[in-house]
Structure 1
Amino acid sequence: MELTPEQRRDRARQAVQVSWQKTEDPAARTEPARAAALKRFENQVDPDRVLPEDERLRRANEAKRQFYKRLGKLSAAARRARREATRAAL
């Protein structure tokens, strides 16, 4: 039996929920991803590793904050545009 895209999404969501229910330490499970994300920002602010580590981390965390702030603004603008388009269509 072929599943519809909606059925596949529902099945995948259920699998994710079960997986997280069985996870004893969520922070440990997500640590590799958080470390990789921080490394991305470290590479952005100090690709040659010439800064002292504490300064590189400070700048990387600032770059990360700015990235997510911009992402939030773009998301809000997209939601606003969708809402306005829906109102205009009525």
Structure 2
Amino acid sequence: MADELTPAQRSMRASIAAHSRWAREPDRKEAMRPALDGMLARFEKQVDPDGVLEPHIRAERAESAKKAYYKALQLKSSRARAANRGKQKAA
């Protein structure tokens, strides 16, 4: 079919849509609020699934859990880049 897109074309189309949406957004910070609140709730649930901790303790632990999550992503990314460099040298 003529309407079928390759994965790269679908990605490009999605990128165009995302950039177009953000270009029209008058308050980007407020538009991100639900996503940021959801992410924070995820980490709070992770560190206090029963909701028994004091709010300030839960918030401190959630912040640490968030930092650990992002550090793990950094490590994974770093290892992937190193592996890709090794593949490029071998080629």
RMSD across aligned positions (CA): 1.2
Tell me, in whole angstroms, the C-alpha distance in 1 between the residues paired with 2:10 and 2:43.
34
* SS, match of residue 48 in structure 1: coil
Identity %: 39
Provide the residue aligned with 1:57 in structure 2.
59
Return 77-86 or 10-19, whichever deviates more. Answer: 10-19
Residue in 1 aligned with 2:87? 85
Corresponding position of 1:41: 43
1:20-78 per-position Cα deviation (integer Å, ceiling 9, x unaligned)? 00001111111111111111110111111111001100100011001101110111101
Q: In 2, distance between residues paired with 1:78 and 1:8?
A: 24
Alignment-derived partner of residue 17 in structure 2: 15
Instruction: Give, in whole Å, the separation in 1 of the partners of 2:4 and 2:13.
Output: 10
Unaligned runs of 5+ in 1: none
